[in-house]
């Protein structure tokens, strides 16, 4: 298997993510978007964690107001953040800035902060992660942690962590669930050059369910 990191096939991805957060007690977490992430965050609401010590970041965002249903921060607030009292929530979207200036500001914020202790990523059916889409410019950025990015296949302009930003975290956790992710996960596991396959960090953990895991992948 060519997959970088450790893969665990689990019955319930959200429960496995919950247990990992409880055990590791990260002081900072970068959140992703999507339905898999939303279920994970809803499950965290009741977790026995000292949220008052935890800072939250976004690992990518759609360039829409937080009140927009497409907002990753908006999703995370509804699912989790509005139910707990974290030390900080660092928004990517800024209504008073251009996307370029917001990217530069978030880059400076991340650069000035100690490495984010747990970075959560999803996997798109095309093998994207965060807003690192196949064939886009952000895949090749080495001197920035946060850049604007996007393509014609995915809605909204985006802000996204780059690979250098991702690899700065000591722990990167992918959560992958459902049969519609089977091909993307198999692509990663067989060494295809999809964006998620390029992720490197000190520890990369893949939490995948039985539907997403091809026979023999685990
Ligand atoms: C985004 C997400 C994206 C997501 C994957 C998986 O902004 O769209 O960050 O990378 O995590 O597309 O999303 P699903 O779990 O909804 O398939």
pLDDT along the chain (218 residues), means of 10: 92 98 98 98 98 98 98 98 98 98 98 98 98 98 98 97 98 98 97 97 98 89
| Stretch (H or E) spanning 14 | helix 13-24
pLDDT at residue 1, as a whole number: 67
d(CA 203, CA 156): 31
In the chain, the N- to C-terminal Cα span, in Å, equals 9
Q: Is the CB of 150 under 6 A from ligand 1?
A: no
- Element containing residue 121 per DSSP (H, E): strand 118-121
The b/e string for 130-148 (b: 16+ C-beta within 10 A; e otherwise) is bbbbeebebbebeebbbbb
Predicted pLDDT of residue 216: 82
Q: How confident is the model at residue 2, as a pLDDT?
A: 80
The H-or-E segment that residue 58 falls in is strand 55-58
122 lines ligand 1 (CB under 6 A): yes
Domain spanning 13-177 has what CATH number?
3.40.50.1360
Q: What are 201-218's pLDDT values in tens digits?
A: 999 999 999 999 998 887
Which residue's structure tokens are 């956790």?
A: 173
Ligand 1: atom nearest CA of 36 is 15
Ligand 1: residue of 124, 162, 176 to mutate (most ligand atoms within 8 A of CB) is 124
CA 195 / ligand 1 centre spacing (Å): 13
- Among 135, 146, 212, CA closest to 174: 212
């Amino acid at each position: 298997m060519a997959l970088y990191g450790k893969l665990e096939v689990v019955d319930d991805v959200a429960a496995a993510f919950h247990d990992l957060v409880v055990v590791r007690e990260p002081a900072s977490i970068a959140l992703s978007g999507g339905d898999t992430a939303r279920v994970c965050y809803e499950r965290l609401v009741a977790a026995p964690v000292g949220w008052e010590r935890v800072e939250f970041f976004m690992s990518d965002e759609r360039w829409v107001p937080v009140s927009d249903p497409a907002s990753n921060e908006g999703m995370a607030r509804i699912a989790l953040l509005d139910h707990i009292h974290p030390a900080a929530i660092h928004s990517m979207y800024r209504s008073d800035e251009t996307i370029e200036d917001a990217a530069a500001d978030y880059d400076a914020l991340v650069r000035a902060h100690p490495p984010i202790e747990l970075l959560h990523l999803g996997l798109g059916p095309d093998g994207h992660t965060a807003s690192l889409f196949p064939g886009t410019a952000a895949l090749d950025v080495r001197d920035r942690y946060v850049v604007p990015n996007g393509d014609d296949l995915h809605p909204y302009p985006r802000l996204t962590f780059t690979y250098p930003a991702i690899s700065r975290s000591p722990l990167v956790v992918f959560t992958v669930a459902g049969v519609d992710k089977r091909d993307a996960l198999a692509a990663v596991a067989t060494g295809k050059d999809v964006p998620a396959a390029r992720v490197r960090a000190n520890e990369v953990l893949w939490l995948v369910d039985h539907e997403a895991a091809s026979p023999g992948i685990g």
